[in-house]
Amino acid sequence: MMVCVCNAIREREVREAARSGSMTACQAYRAMGMQPKCGQCVPFARAIIDEERAAA
């Protein structure tokens, strides 16, 4: 599933960033060498990161 249309970031990429230690959406984006643009994806990315942290 696409999380961020502006940066073409997929859900699996956000999950991988979370597993690699990113604690926030901004940290996950930076880990991928990007940054949020319009910001509409940030809440969804945050929810994915929270899910990964809860499962760890």
Structural domains in the chain plus CATH codes: 2-55 (1.10.10)
DSSP state of 35: -
Structure tokens at 17: 């960033």
Q: CA angle 18-46-39, nearest 5°?
A: 120
- The confidence score (pLDDT) of residue 56 equals 76
Question: In 1-56, which residue ranges form alpha helices assigned H by DSSP?
Answer: 11-19, 25-31, 42-55
pLDDT tens, position by position, 1-53:
999 999 999 999 999 999 999 999 999 999 999 988 999 999 999 999 999 99
